[in-house]
Amino acid sequence: QNIETVTKFFSTPLAHRAMKMEHVDPAQVKNAIPTLSNSELANLSSRANQANQQFSAGVLSTSQMLLLIIVLLVVVLLVAVH
């Protein structure tokens, strides 16, 4: 479930826009997600759900959401490397 939530979060058009801005290959992110531990996935899944809810409610602007996606991308890629 957590893998699915995180994968879905990074599959949105806005997430792909953030990846393109930062020159990150979406396939690299998709491949990195399953390498995360259960606790890391649970944490990211929770943050992704919270971000989506806040964005949908208008609490986060598009630029704030892009920044949040970029931060979570960095986390995924750094954790997957270690």
Q: What is the pLDDT of residue 82?
A: 73
Higher pLDDT among residues 9 and 80, named by residue:
9
| pTM of the complete model | 0.90
With bands split at pLDDT 50, 70 and 90, how would you rate the model's confidence at 80? confident
Sign of the alpha-carbon dihedral angle for 32, 34, 35, 37: positive
pLDDT of residue 41: 95
Q: Output the CA angle 19-51-17, nearest 5 degrees.
A: 20
